[in-house]
Amino acid sequence: MGQGDFRLSDVELDASIGRSTPDVEHERAVAIFDLVEENSFEPIGHAGGPYKLKLSLVDSKLVLGIATEAGEAVATHILSLTPFRRIIKDYFMICESYYEAIRSSTPSRIEAIDMGRRGIHNEGSQTLMDRLDGKIRVDFDTARRLFTLVCVLYWRG
């Protein structure tokens, strides 16, 4: 265990939540792969990882369970999903439009929808960074991938 190794080595979504559509499952798999490949994850006040993260939903709250690779508990953070509800709802709607467009629309229409989708995704990522402030320090790319996983949990739940 390297001191100051502030990264995630493993990410798990609560298995009690069922599977979703192939599109959503693909988003989940890609987000976890990308997150484990490259991330910056620093629980405030902890000497260093790498870390394992378990994401779950409990009573409409997001639960982030953090442990070391050896399984030693580091912290559990519980975030209200209220600040995310509108963003997630908008993101779901635009993702549905996006998946529909991929199947039947022109490249320029797909690109326009994708730009809107990225904008909403960035807003959700920034909101997540703000909510984690003082608890876990993450960079924007890490926040983006984590926000995707929050959406996947929400979709399934």
In terms of phi and psi (left: phi > 0; alpha: psi -120 to 50; beta: otherwise), the region of 59 is: left
Q: Give residue 94's domain range.
A: 8-156
DSSP character for 146? H
2 falls within a domain: no
70 falls within a domain: yes
Q: Do strands 41-43 and 8-13 pair parallel, antiparallel, or not at all (unpaired)?
A: unpaired
pTM: 0.88
3 falls within a domain: no
1 falls within a domain: no
Question: How many domains, the chain?
Answer: 1
pLDDT at 15 exceeding the cut of 80: no
pLDDT tens for each residue of 52-105: 999 999 888 999 999 999 999 999 999 999 999 999 999 989 988 998 999 999
Residues facing residue 41 across a β-bridge: 138
- 130: enclosing H helix or E strand: helix 107-132
144 falls within a domain: yes
